Amino acid sequence: MTNVDKEKLRGVGKVLGEAILMAKGMVKPGVKLITVADAAEKFLRDKNYGIAFPMNISVNEQAAHYTPCLDDDKVFTNADLVKIDFGAEKDGFLGDCAVTIDLSGKYGGLVSAANEALAKAISVVKAGVTVNEIGKAIAESIESKGYSPIKNLGGHGINEHELHAEPFIPNYDNGDETELEEGMVIALEPFATTGKGFVADSDIREIFSYVGEGTTRSADSRLLLKEISTKYTTEPFAARWLSNKINSRFRLYAAMGELMRAGAITPHSTLVEVSNGMVSQAEAQLIVEKEGCEILAKV
């Protein structure tokens, strides 16, 4: 990020942390996932902040990118391992942070593995450190607890209106000797799993990004494209956010499918651990400093 507005980033991080803590307190057996997502997203809007991406509520073997669908009736259970990943926005400056909640009481070790790996990674960060050094610290920490890091997910740089920018920060030593630079805004994002340590796309698609105008045939798809191109050209959006235009689940997703085929939007599929291993996540956002870092967002 070339023009770092630290005060604005600190404000984004503070409000984002408040939203995630509120959501975390709502995650209880019997509560609907959509109730939590709607409340947290409303919280940011009421504070006059934008949403950097729809609230991710990924459960058990899901690692990322699940957000409730329109009229979602899923509820949390007392067997769930829940990842809350959320982002806030102000004038193009983005915040990104995540936390894991174990409703089962069975996965405390897995949750701690991600949290401790995050703490270890933070302790390593400073200008001149290579991204594979950070990845090595994350992997060693997770593996010492008997779990596997997810190798095809990781942290990332953050720029204005660009949540996933260079550099990619791996969760293991991938040999990449790209150095962190003073003033970089980054997110560290360890994922720990009981499984093989890789994720793959599922067929669940609820989060999308605008690509550009496409040739569409139905009135519904044209209606949605006008709304998307007006409101959601910079950050990802949820299909359910478009229910103000089409509140029929069947019609909404039929129109979304047409927009995907036309190349007007692209999906961010829910990512699932390939061996259905349980997944925990921890994430913090930082500014790289000469001899350390400043934490902007962490729960």
CA-to-CA separations, 59 to 68, 104, 200, in angstroms, rounded: 11, 12, 15
Residues β-bridged to residue 229: none
Q: What is the DSSP string of 95-152?
A: EEEEEEEESSSS-HHHHHHHHHHHHHHHHH-STT-BHHHHHHHHHHHHHHTT-EE-TT
Cβ 21 vs Cβ 86: under 8 Å? no
Q: In what order do the strands lie in the sheet with 148-149?
A: 148-149, 191-193, 279-281
Q: In what order do the strands lie in the sheet with 154-159?
A: 162-170, 154-159, 185-188, 284-289, 292-297
Helix (H) or strand (E) holding 41: helix 33-46
Residues 86 and 22: their CA atoms lie apart, in Å, by 12
Cβ 95 vs Cβ 12: under 8 Å? yes
What positions carry a catalytic annotation?
85, 96, 156, 164, 189, 283
CA-to-CA separations, 227 to 178, 220, 255, in angstroms, rounded: 40, 11, 12
A 10 A CB-CB count for 3 gives 9
Cβ 26 vs Cβ 35: under 8 Å? yes
Residue 152, φ and ψ in degrees, nearest 5: -105, 25
CA-to-CA separations, 256 to 67, 212, 214, 225, in angstroms, rounded: 16, 14, 12, 9
Radius of gyration of the chain from its Cα atoms, rounded to whole angstroms: 19
